[in-house]
Amino acid sequence: MERIQGYVDHIIYRNSENGYTVLALICGEEEITCVGSLHYIGNGEAIEAEGQYKEHSTYGRQFQIVSYEIKEPEDVVSIERYLGSGAIKGIGASLAARIVKKFKADTFRIIEEEPERLAEIKGISERKAREIAEQAEEKRDMRKAMIFLQQYGISNSMGVKIYNTYGPELYRIVKENPYQMAEDIGGIGFRIADEIAGRVGIHTDSDFRIRSGILYVLQQASGEGHIYLPQEMLQERTVVLLGVSRESVEKHVMDLAVDRKLIVKEDGESICIYSTAAYYLELNAAKMLHDLNISCEISETAVLAKVAKIEKERETELDEMQRQAVAAAAGHGLLVITGGPGTGKTTTINALIDYFESEGLELRLAAPTGRAAKRMTEATGYEAQTIHRLLEVSGGTDDESRGQFGRNAENPLEADVIIIDEMSMVDIYLAHALLMAVPVGTRLIMVGDVNQLPSVGPGSVLKDIIDSGQFPVVRLTKIFRQATESDIIVNAHKINKGEHVVADNKSRDFFFLKRQDANVIISIVITLVQQKMPKYVHASQNEIQVLTPMRKGLLGVERLNTILQEYLNAPSQDKREKEYGGGLFREGDKVMQIKNNYQIEWEIRGKYGIAVEKGTGIFNGDMGIVREINTYAEMMTVEFDEGRFVDYPFKQLDELELAYAVTIHKSQGSEYPAVVIPLLPGPRMLMNRNLLYTAVTRAKSCVTLVGDEGTFYQMIDNTFEQKRYTSLQNRIKELS
């Protein structure tokens, strides 16, 4: 790393959205082109920057700034240069020279304390003097704030957020309670606030720190899928995190409950601790489910007669449970349909569509992911959307767990019947938003396989609704004849029942290649994805998905993606690259969005790349291909499903990761022509039946497992599932 010091002569280019800036810096007699994320640097600013020189293929030698500090102009030349740079509107070079000639090194004090004296200079009226003083004060306050925050290791982009949130109050907050920033500002979590607190000198047993630590532990638990934590577990985790006594944690839990930041609720012999937001999400969802669950006056005989007519017209035959599902949907405001693969969920949805359309009712279909919605559209011939698009998601919040939806209680969905597929994937946040937008009187039908893994986000919505026993549920259990021809479906049901699958490779769509060495397994996986599977299932290489149980380890996502990238998208002079976070993105890479971003904009492009449709929101699990890496504009373009193009500033690349291999958890709701599953022994709590069942059911035409046969059978036998602390079923029962 090198350090340079100088003043900004002029800004060559700036991206206002991501702060990427190209500027000319005068260092003594030399002019240096500098590039970096420099949100608040303006003409005339004096800075000291750290970084390194790099040779750009088009623009030549540049200094890439990694970090910088703004310096106050101290000498007469620097003051004149700053004022004459255009930093303050209305002051050009000649006027700046006259001001500094008169007031010399005292110029900034005059502007700050005696601005009326500026009117002594020809060309400056009293009004203009006031305007200059106001602008200078605003610039000075921001610059002062940036310099203050820099000493605590706060980046300039984060400093701007802090300044815009608190203004002059930021000095008190940083010194007294930096943990408040973790609550108020997106992007500043407990860890960052705790680091700042340590630099400020706040004690480890500070009340503010313990309170913030407790809330942080609950937030982290939410990331594991929990709605609450048992009191003992919350206390234990907080003690380990903060290194404080259990008694002090217990005291602050009660204080936070008094302040309504936490909800403490007894459940039998255990005490459950919720964040207030999480508790009311479940409570309100329970109430809305109850409100929707109204009975409709219908003749079941008439419904079944109409169903029989539909069967004749479609030349299909429903089984008794499927007919019962249509009758239940006609007679109730709320219905759950659950069943495994091949049990006719899609056929049932088609029958529901035909029935309600024959009644002249308006339907809306949706699923949690773009892939699931696309599959629903193809299977029904009826347009389905993602739930986010159904609810008309928009940006406007930094909180990744909550979007702003155009459809809500004040502006509900206009439909008579709403059918949601893949409901097992829906977490409590999305379920709550959906229920808010469904008015009483509209039928809500939720379809899903309750035996799949629970949602990535917090909650266990579908399972809790079913387990509450308060709503009509139709369970489809019969495997249809055409489905029995698929060993994927037959074996998935065997796995779900705990029966051992015969891995003799006599199947046409279910294979097990027995290997023990991780590198041999990876070599076979590459051959399958690159050569064998695309031909076998008539799909592109990018459509074949490698699914693995773990992130770490010899067959974890991180190692697999690094290796697969080199073989499936090899380096080339034609492909630009971007190193990021210890990894590498390359044009042509398969990538996945790993967090909800409600604000990011996408566009569908027509001829000549002209946008024909625009929208906002890319969500956890969405997959795409890197189409362009622009190192000059510091932007990476990704094309997602449905031809949605998104431009990612380089600083936002932490929202993406390579997706040649993804965890089985992340594959929920998706269906691929073929999946390849590498298997070696792993943690018992993770390697369970539920996980294996979900992986196998992701494949449409072919499943190939590569690895240890013993691990495969151990997973079938292992019914251990990591417990999720959720209580939607309790809230539902309380309202009954």
Measure the CA–CA gap between 490 and 510, rounded to whole angstroms: 10
Tokens of 93: 């070079």
Q: Which residues contact 526 (CB under 8 A, 6 or more apart)?
A: 563, 564, 567, 568
Q: Under a CB-based contact definition with an 8 Å cutoff, are residues 62 and 23 in contact?
A: no
Q: Mapping DSSP to helix (H, G, I), strand (E, B) and coil, where does residue 343 land?
A: coil
Which one, of 455, 496, 498, lies nearest residue 477 by Cα?
A: 496
Q: Which two tokens stand for residue 466?
A: 């079913």
Instruction: Determine the pLDDT at residue 119.
Output: 87
H-helix or E-strand spanning residue 468: helix 461-468
Q: Which amino acid is at 378?
A: E
CA gap 447, 424 in Å, rounded: 8
Asked if 446 and 462 touch (Cβ cutoff 8 Å), the reply is yes
Q: Identify which of 602, 599, 596, 594 has the alpha carbon closest to the alpha carbon of residue 627.
A: 602
Distance of CA 491 to the CA centre of its chain: 33
Query: What is the length of the chain?
Result: 736
Query: What is residue 582's predicted lDDT score, i.e. its pLDDT?
Result: 81
The Cα–Cα gap between 132 and 389 comes to 48
Query: Measuring CA to CA, which residue among 635, 591, 642 is closest to residue 388?
Result: 642
Neighbours of 94 (CB within 10 A): 9
Q: Over the stretch 276-312, which tens digit does the pLDDT of each residue have?
A: 999 999 999 999 999 999 988 888 888 898 889 888 8
Nearest alpha-carbon partner for 363 in 472, 448, 447, 443: 443
Return the structure tokens found at 67: 């970090």
DSSP category for residue 478: P
Q: For 82, list phi and psi in degrees, rounded to 5.
A: -65, -50
Q: In what order do the strands lie in the sheet with 417-420?
A: 384-386, 363-367, 417-420, 443-448, 334-339, 473-476
Q: Which two tokens stand for residue 60?
A: 């030549």
Distances 73 to 6, 8, 91, 115, 130 between C-alpha atoms, Å: 11, 12, 16, 18, 21
Question: 406: buried, middle or exposed (CB in 10 Å: 19+, 13-18, 0-12)?
Answer: exposed
- In the chain, which stretches have pLDDT less than 50? 397-401
- DSSP H helical ranges for 53-125: 76-83, 93-103, 107-113
Q: Hunting for tokens 């509900």 — which residue is that? A: 412
* Phi-psi label, residue 236: left if phi above 0, alpha if psi -120 to 50, beta otherwise: alpha
The residue to which tokens 């006259």 are assigned:
98
Enter the tokens of residue 593.
Answer: 């969005």
8 Å CB contact between 627 and 638: yes
Task: Supply the pTM of this predicted model.
Answer: 0.77
CB 650 within 8 A of CB 632: no
Q: How many Cβ atoms sit within 10 Å of the Cβ of residue 168?
A: 10
Containing H/E element for 697? Answer: none
Q: How far is CA 569 from the centre of its chain?
A: 25
Distant-in-sequence, close-in-space partners of 117: CB < 8 Å, separation ≥ 6? 103, 110, 129
pLDDT at residue number 453: 87
Taking CB atoms within 8 Å and a gap of at least 24, the contacts of 484-488 are: 484/342, 486/342, 488/341, 488/696, 488/697, 488/699, 488/700, 488/701, 488/702, 488/703
Question: Is residue 645 within 8 Å of 637, Cβ to Cβ?
Answer: yes
**Three-point CA angle 594, 595, 600, nearest 5°:** 115
Give the C-alpha distances (Å, rounded to integers) separating 356 from 295, 472, 473.
16, 18, 19
